[in-house]
Every structure is written in structure tokens, then in C-alpha cells.
Structure 1
Amino acid sequence: HYAGSLPVSDSPKRYSTQPSGELWDLPGVYVADSSPWRHLPAKGLTFTIMANARRVAKGVCREL
């Protein structure tokens, strides 16, 4: 399943990510694909997934 398996959450929950893409349960581990999204549009995901990966990567670079 390529969406919703690690949903974004504003508070710590098991098997969820922070809005930054970082896993709540594993600090320092980031998810940059579509698995944090609860819903996916019918088509045209490639560029949106790429943009999300870039957003997460930029956030990680700021923390380094």
C-alpha cells in the first residue's frame, strides 16, 4: 500500500510521521514518499511525490 501506512500526525502516535516527515517513533528517520498521505488523487502523483521528497530533504538539510 503506497499511501496512508505512516500518516502525518501533529502529536506522537505509533506508526505515524511528524509534519516534517520524521517518524515519531524513530527520531532521525524520515519518510519522503506518499505513505504519510491519507488520501491520494486518482492520477498524476509523480511530481507531487517528487515535490514532497524535496520538501522533506530540504528540512533534513536545515537540521544538519
Structure 2
Amino acid sequence: MLKELRDKKILLSLREVSELLGISYGKARVFTYEQNMQVRIGKRILIHRKKLEKWIDDQVK
């Protein structure tokens, strides 16, 4: 159920990104900031899923 919901989300939390990529929360925060993937909603920092997927695709090519 969580996987299905996560697959449909446009924005991911930093915790979700760190789990998906297998990196620490701090590294996920720095990495997504440097790659301009972060969206702020109030105090929350969320990551734009399509930008993350595009970055991964670009690394594989």
C-alpha cells in the first residue's frame, strides 16, 4: 500500500528520498539542494519526483 501511494506522489519527503537512494538524510538534503530539486511548503522540504528521476536517468546514459 505504501509503495503504491509513493509511486503516485509528485513530491517526496527527504526521508523517502534517503530510503529510496540508500543514503543518509543529511546527504539527501544536501544533494537535492545542490541539484535544485527541493520545494518548500511552509517549513517542510519536499523533493520533486520527476526531477529526481530525470537526474537518475541522466546518470545512467
User: Is TM (by shorter chain) over 0.5?
Assistant: no
More strand by share: 2
Q: TM-score when scaled to structure 1?
A: 0.29
Q: TM-score when scaled to structure 2?
A: 0.30
Higher relative contact order (CA 8 A, sep 6+): 2
